[in-house]
Amino acid sequence: MNVALHAEALPPSAPAGNPVDRLTTMLRADMRQVETLLAERAASPVATIPDLSGYLISAGGKRLRPLITLASARAVGGHGEAATHCLAAAVEFIHSATLLHDDVVDDSDLRRGKPAAKNVWGASASILVGDFLFARAFTLMVDTRDIRVLDILSRASCVIAEGEVRQLAALGRADLSVAEYMAIAEAKTAALFEAAARAGALTGCDNVSIANSLGEYGRRLGLAFQIVDDLLDYGGMTSVIGKSVGDDFREGKLTLPVLFARDLGDASDRAFWRRTMSDRDQTDADLATAIRLIRTSGAAERTLEAARAEADAARAALAQAASGPFADELARLADFCVNRAW
Amino acid sequence: MNVALHAEALPPSAPAGNPVDRLTTMLRADMRQVETLLAERAASPVATIPDLSGYLISAGGKRLRPLITLASARAVGGHGEAATHCLAAAVEFIHSATLLHDDVVDDSDLRRGKPAAKNVWGASASILVGDFLFARAFTLMVDTRDIRVLDILSRASCVIAEGEVRQLAALGRADLSVAEYMAIAEAKTAALFEAAARAGALTGCDNVSIANSLGEYGRRLGLAFQIVDDLLDYGGMTSVIGKSVGDDFREGKLTLPVLFARDLGDASDRAFWRRTMSDRDQTDADLATAIRLIRTSGAAERTLEAARAEADAARAALAQAASGPFADELARLADFCVNRAW
């Protein structure tokens, strides 16, 4: 795969700009409701709660998961139902709670280009405000009054937490298989995309089969998103100066680019990965070596192909169940997630 | 208040043993269902999850909150409904998740006489398995199929998390008021007791007014429980050799005995509390001094009186809505929570 091929894969009718911005515009009225819910439900007389959550939630964040929720509902015939808005806000709160806990667990110092909340308010506040946001997500879901939505989201919450523990247990495991990596990505990331799309669709129409197709779209989109995220942590396909890279490497988190580089490399490459990722014995030059091995071994290309396969599957699932302007943008979103790698 | 007065306050008909043991016996069939749910829902192919949660949940724990849930349902006419069992298990999982996060936040090394889970599996695993148990609590609540139960428990979850953040923000604040202490105790402890009793009652009968009375019973019981817990952290009314004391003191957590000792003491006492709790400047002898000040100032007696007032209010609320053997034991449970101080 190269740049020319990749450009060719874009639908010829793709309008200017990117699908996140276009969905944000198309869903402006829905998003206004969601933003109101996010602000109202993060409110608390305990100042740390709005301060910390506002720092994370109001500042930045593409609102990707609420957009998927809202667009899924609209794509299958929804008309901006209140339940869809509650669900979209709940999904963003679950995501935010996960970020707060991840920062503590990963000991990350940066989030969205700013110091992580735990570096400003402390780890304890990040843990407890994360719990608060998760609890508020739960009340928002109950406010949908839809037991099917509650089933989907409560199960997804379990899968996400299970995936986080699985990832923790996999840290530094130089023998991690691609299947195990995919299981972690599916749980910690794709499960919420899937739940957002499936439950979103259910609030927009009453057809379980359509909702399941949207769920499959979300799941595949989530996998593509996570795979590309992991590639971007090694600079993606082209190095962008100034972009922060190497977090996963420093934490010993074995991701798809590393697994492919390990499998495609020779014995000395494998010794390198074992030393740096399992023994966590790293020098300043090692990250550059890691990036070089991922590029030269073909691991980066192979990772991108894996992401593209998920994006293709996402579009196929979507095409079975929905058409029209919202479905078109959701389809382009799948490609856009992969194109981020460039 | 003295020992004689306190003994007098016990109902003359109180049978031998304690109400926790008696409720455990009376509710044996219900508890078997709950234990099955706890084991099933803590299961996961990710070994850390059953290992860590089993360490906390199967070992020890009086199952006080599930017992309150089950007894509340039975006291108002329930017959061991499946929803009651799901709710009781959910309440225990919420409590367990809170304990796991508390251990990390408080940096406690012991829990129920054993090393805290975070000292065995690490803080990250404790945070993430706590999240998993909270998510599983959520699925159990959805399994009740009762939107009223979901309303009560989801709101309680928010109040609990908010109370934990409030407590964190209050650490070391030498000017904390009794009202602020009560607000923290109400949120972090009483809210779950209240939700357990109120939602438990709703699953046993369909009468909102009866359920509200049970909820008030639970809230007052939870306050009595927390106040006595805080007194026990300074050895209670009589020193029990070998019992671990002083956690709150070391953490700078201002609790009711300290607030009363501060308010009843002189300027030098207040300087002592400020130095040890706000400045966290403590020597080995300071805990003994703290315990002495709490006893000699009358703060211990006053704390016990506050707990007894809550227990009395708990019994009064209960008497308005329920009678019979389960209500009798719930009433005795309120006294038992206070009697622990001796």
B61 in Cβ contact with B78 (< 8 Å) = no
What are the angstrom distances between the C-alpha of A96 and each of A3, A131, A155, A238, B166?
A: 34, 10, 18, 29, 20
CB neighbours of residue A341 within 10 Å: 21
What is the rounded CA–CA span in Å between residue B118 and residue B107?
Answer: 9
Higher per-residue confidence, A342 vs A206? A206
Q: Could you tell me if B124 lies within 8 Å of chain A, comparing CB atoms?
A: yes
Q: How large is the ipTM? A: 0.93
Contacts of A95 in chain B (CB under 8 A): none
What are the angstrom distances between the C-alpha of B254 and each of A94, A116, B182?
A: 32, 29, 11
Report the residue from B139, B145, B169 with minimal CB separation from A155: B139
What is the rounded CA–CA span in Å between residue A216 and residue A316?
Answer: 9
Contacts of A166 in chain B (CB under 8 A): 46
Q: Which residues are A99's β-sheet partners?
A: none
Give me the architecture of the B19-234+309-333 domain, per CATH. Answer: Orthogonal Bundle (1.10)
Q: Which tokens is A332 given?
A: 């382009």
Cα angle vertex B75, ends B71, B77, to 5°?
Answer: 120
A26-36 pLDDT, tens digit per residue, is 999 999 999 99
pLDDT of residue B16: 72
Phi, psi of B115 (to 5 degrees): -55, 140
Task: Please tell me the total number of residues recorded for chain B in this structure.
Answer: 342
- Digit-by-digit pLDDT tens for chain B (342 residues) are 333 334 444 554 556 789 999 999 999 999 999 999 999 999 999 999 999 999 988 766 789 999 999 999 999 999 999 999 999 999 999 999 999 999 999 887 777 678 888 889 999 999 999 999 999 999 999 999 999 999 999 999 999 999 999 999 999 999 999 999 999 999 999 999 999 999 999 999 999 999 999 999 999 999 999 999 999 999 987 765 445 789 899 999 999 999 999 999 999 999 999 999 999 999 989 999 999 999 999 999 999 999 999 999 999 999 999 999 999 999 999 999 999 877
Contacts of B134 in chain A (CB under 8 A): 131, 134, 161
- Does domain A17-339 match CATH 1.10.600.10? yes
Range A23-27 average pLDDT = 97
CB–CB contact B128 A161 (8 Å): yes
Q: Which tokens is B63 given?
A: 């199952």
Best A46, A48, A118, A145 member to test B by mutation, with max B CBs in 10 Å, is: A46
What is the rounded CA–CA span in Å between residue A130 and residue B114?
Answer: 27
Residue spans of the domains in chain B: they are: 19-234+309-333
CB–CB contact B169 A145 (8 Å): no
Contacts of A169 in chain B (CB under 8 A): 46-48
